[in-house]
Structures are given as C-alpha cells and as structure tokens.
C-alpha cells in the first residue's frame, strides 16, 4: 500500500513515520523546500521524543521518503492523507487555505482509485465541500475524514496505541482501504469506529473542547480553593476516582495553551453559529481561559507584595507544556511579558532550549540548567511541568536564591516539602504558605 501524507507538521510527520513503521510505503510531502531537504537528511524539525530514531529507522528501511512535489507524490498513492495546518483566523474561525491549496495541487495528478482522507482538523461539512471542489474540477475520488488525537510530547505512543480510531466514510471503498491502513492496530484491540463524515469531523472538535473545558473547570475550582481553604490537588483526586469523571485533565495550572485547544474551541464556537447553534459552555471556557493568564500575573504580584520592579525572577519552563519546544499560545508569553512590563528582570531555563521561545522574548537571560537559573533569584517561578523540575534539590536551591519564594503554577510540589526546605510556597488552588 502506498501512502502519501501531505503536510509535515506534528500530525503529518508523526502519522507518516508511524504508517511507515506499520510497514507501509510512505511519502511525506511539504511545499517548504528547505524543510524537505533537511528531512531527507534525517533531521527532525520538531521536538518530539523518539521521533528522530523512528524516522531514521524507516528511511533506512526504504519505507519512508520525503518530497516537495505533490504532483509526483500522489500519482501512485492508494491513499492520501491531508495533514496541513488549520490555524485560527482573526475572527476565530478555522483557516482552510492550506487544505484547499493541497487539494487543488493534487487534483491534477491524483489517480481515480485513490482515497483522499482529511486528517487536518476541519469544521463540519469541509470534507463534503472538498469532494465538491474536486468534482467541480472533474475529479471523482472517494473522500474520508480521520481525526488525529495525538498529544505533543507523547505523539508516537498516542498514534501507535490510540484510545480509538474514528473514520468518517461514505463509500465501501474508503471503508475497505482505511480498514487496511489501521489493521495493524487490531492486535491491540483498538476500537475502530466507522461513521459518517460530519460525525467524524465533530468528534475531533468535541473531544478537544471537552478536554479544554475540563481543564478550565478545575482551574475555576482552584480559584475557589484558594479562598475557601480546600486543596485543588485533593479535590481533583477525589473527583478523578469517580470513573464517570476520570482523573485525566484535572491538573490546575496557568490555563491551557498550545496549537490545538485555543484554535479548536474558537473554531467550534464559530462554525456552530453557522448552524444556528450557540455553544455557551465552549464560549465560557474560552473566556475563562483567556482571563486566566492575567489572573496568574496578579497572583505572582500579590505573592511579591504587589511589587516586582527590579526583582530577579527565575522562570523554570516556558513551553506550553512539557516534552515539547512548542511556544504556540503558551501562557508563559503573556505572563513573562507582563512581569517585564512591571519592571522584573527575567532569567529562563527551559529543557527544550526552544528556539521559538528565544524569538519571542526580549531582554531575557537564557540559562543552561535550573540551578544556575535560580542564582540570586528573588522569585523562582515554575511555569511548565517538565519532569526535571519535579525533584529539584530545594535545599541547594535555597542556598542559591536571594529570597526564598517559590511560585509553582503547575502544583508539582507538595506544600510540606517546600516549606521544609525553607521556601515560601505559592501554588494554584492551595493556600499560600509564607
């Protein structure tokens, strides 16, 4: 089976590499020539644990190649996946330009037996519109929609051992070809759900919006905990033990970020309106999450007795979450910039040494390890839950800082542990311990 994947972002590259690992012949296409050249050399353009090894292995095995020509790469494809970005437009709607660009490019050379599968996250109705777009150009092929549920930082495992595979199809042929593509997962008893195009498209948005809502819910509970004396970690534990609720996505923090939740919640609220439906809960989630970053800045200022002017703040972690170098919509951006505006001096250590972050922040000192970062700090501020921050030698850190104040916006420490090491501890949804 020849598989062509158009787009080599997180979803496209991980999917292409993993399909090759299943044993299929895969060509990944991107119109960015420089990116394709570096992929051909085995260089992975994103930070994703394990991806470089798996990619090289499959290139050496001759199952994985890269090309900048859509035309050449789709001619002999049995199945084409479109996995290009669908970023937010100014008004919050999904920008489908890259999807249609890819479809227009393949229209001239695709063979009539190919099944075209959209993997990009697209509003309900898009896959049918793509079919119509092709028909208007005299191209009659089967289309399908197959959402991707991988998380950055755990993408390979999510692809290889998914909770489910959702396949929106409207023909027997698409069902047959997609069954073959995902047959390797039957061995793990992965539920494979065939449904119509609209349902598959909406499942993706509903899943992301629900998870975003869950995170926002626990963040609002955290606000309440701070004033009523409850501990949000324990509340989340108590809730999560109920199997109907589940324990995932109940970690309180600085609000969700990244390239998916913010854009997909906005797009869902937007296209639901086109169907005449108001997504009130989703809109409330977006608004609550938007306010969260300013709330975190207030929290930091208040822990510093209202004043950070001239203070040295050592920030541990700036990426939107751990195990990625991705800075898209990271809460750290607004938080650090607000602290700088208030006159703080910022030092940063982030284990990904994110180049994106270096382009975003001005007047920041970049440190090589967490301990050097905390030398002479007035405040140690944890913004990302990287594993290597979970067991820092707090006694050593205490010796290095000017002022022992630890602000942990990811709740990765226990209150008792931090207090025992001589720090004041300000976290989320728990009482501030001076």
Q: How far apart are CA 196 and CA 352, in angstroms?
A: 40
The window from 81-89, 94-102, 146-154, 400-408 that contacts ligand UGA (CB under 6 A) reads 146-154
Among 48, 105, 148, 334, binds ligand UGA (CB under 6 A): 148
Of the candidates 18, 260, 373, 374, the residue annotated as catalytic is 260
Instruction: Report in angstroms how near the CB of residue 102 gets to ligand UGA at its nearest.
Output: 18
Among 75, 128, 151, 358, binds ligand UGA (CB under 6 A): 151
Q: How far apart are CA 86 and CA 328, in angstroms?
A: 14
Among 211, 225, 374, 407, binds ligand UGA (CB under 6 A): 211
260 is catalytic: yes
Q: In the range 235-294, which residues lie near ligand UGA by CB under 6 A?
A: 249-251, 253, 256-258, 260-261
Instruction: Report in angstroms how near the CB of residue 107 gets to ligand UGA at its nearest.
Output: 26
Instruction: Report in angstroms how near the CB of residue 215 gets to ligand UGA at its nearest.
Output: 4
Instruction: Report in angstroms how near the CB of residue 253 gets to ligand UGA at its nearest.
Output: 4
Q: How far apart are CA 134 and CA 119, in angstroms?
A: 17
Instruction: Report in angstroms how near the CB of residue 163 gets to ligand UGA at its nearest.
Output: 9
Angle CA 66–158–360, to nearest 5: 70
Pick the closer one to ligand UGA by CB: 218 or 392: 218
Q: In the range 9-28, which residues lie near ligand UGA by CB under 6 A?
A: none
Pick the closer one to ligand UGA by CB: 114 or 265: 265
Pick the closer one to ligand UGA by CB: 361 or 423: 361
φ/ψ (deg, to 5) at 146: -135, 95
Pick the closer one to ligand UGA by CB: 121 or 352: 121
Binding-residue pattern over the window 292 to 331 for ligand UGA, x denoting contact by CB under 6 A = ----------------------------xx----------
Instruction: Report in angstroms how near the CB of residue 242 gets to ligand UGA at its nearest.
Output: 16
Instruction: Report in angstroms how near the CB of residue 211 gets to ligand UGA at its nearest.
Output: 6
Under the binding rule (CB under 6 A), the answer on residue 216 touching ligand UGA is no
Among 20, 150, 297, 308, binds ligand UGA (CB under 6 A): 150
Pick the closer one to ligand UGA by CB: 404 or 429: 429
Instruction: Report in angstroms how near the CB of residue 68 gets to ligand UGA at its nearest.
Output: 24
Binding-residue pattern over the window 159 to 198 for ligand UGA, x denoting contact by CB under 6 A = ----------------------------------------
Total residues interacting with ligand UGA, rule: CB under 6 A: 20
Pick the closer one to ligand UGA by CB: 255 or 370: 255
Pick the closer one to ligand UGA by CB: 68 or 223: 223
Q: How far apart are CA 267 and CA 202, in angstroms?
A: 11
Bridge partners (DSSP) listed for residue 374? none
Q: Which residues are catalytic?
A: 260
The footprint of ligand UGA (CB under 6 A) covers 121, 148-152, 208, 211, 215, 249-251, 253, 256-258, 260-261, 320-321
């Amino acid at each position: 089976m020849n598989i062509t994947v158009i787009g080599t972002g997180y979803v496209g590259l991980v999917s292409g590499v993993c399909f090759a690992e299943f044993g299929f012949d895969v060509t990944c296409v991107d119109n960015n020539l420089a990116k394709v050249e570096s992929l051909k050399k085995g260089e992975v353009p994103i930070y994703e644990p394990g991806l470089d090894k798996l990619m090289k292995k499959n290139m050496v095995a001759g199952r994985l190649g890269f090309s900048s020509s859509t035309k050449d790469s789709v001619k002999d494809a049995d199945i084409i996946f479109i996995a290009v970005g669908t970023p937010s437009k100014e008004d919050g709607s999904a920008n489908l330009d890259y999807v249609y660009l890819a479809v227009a490019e393949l229209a001239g050379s695709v063979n009539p037996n190919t099944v075209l599968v959209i993997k990009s996250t697209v509003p309900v109705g898009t896959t049918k519109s793509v079919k119509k777009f092709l028909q208007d150009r005299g191209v009659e092929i089967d289309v399908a929609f197959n959402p991707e549920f991988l998380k950055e930082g755990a993408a390979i495992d999510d692809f290889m051992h998914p909770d489910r595979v959702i396949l929106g199809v409207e023909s027997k042929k698409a069902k047959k070809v997609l069954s073959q593509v995902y047959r390797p997962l039957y061995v793990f008893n992965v539920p494979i759900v065939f449904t119509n195009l609209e349902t598959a498209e909406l499942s993706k948005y509903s899943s992301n919006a629900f998870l975003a809502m869950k995170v926002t819910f626990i963040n609002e509970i955290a606000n309440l905990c701070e004033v009523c004396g409850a501990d949000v970690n324990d509340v989340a534990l108590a809730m999560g033990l109920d199997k109907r609720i589940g324990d995932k996505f109940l970690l309180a923090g600085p609000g969700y970020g990244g390239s998916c939740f913010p854009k997909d919640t906005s797009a869902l609220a937007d296209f639901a309106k086109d169907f005449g439906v108001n997504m009130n809960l989703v809109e409330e989630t977006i608004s609550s999450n938007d306010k969260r970053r300013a709330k975190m800045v207030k929290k930091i200022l208040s822990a510093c007795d209202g004043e950070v002017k001239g203070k040295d703040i050592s920030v541990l972690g700036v990426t939107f979450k751990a195990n990625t170098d991705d800075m898209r919509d990271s809460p750290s951006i607004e938080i650090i910039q607000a602290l700088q505006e208030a006159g703080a001096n910022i030092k940063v250590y982030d284990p990904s040494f994110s180049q994106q972050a270096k382009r975003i922040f001005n007047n920041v000192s970049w440190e090589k390890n967490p301990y050097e970062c905390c030398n002479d700090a007035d405040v140690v501020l944890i913004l990302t839950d990287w594993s290597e921050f979970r067991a820092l030698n707090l006694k050593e850190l205490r010796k290095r800082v000017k002022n022992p104040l630890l602000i942990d916006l990811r709740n990765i420490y226990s209150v008792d542990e931090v207090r025992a090491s001589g720090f004041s501890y300000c976290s989320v949804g728990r009482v501030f311990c001076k």
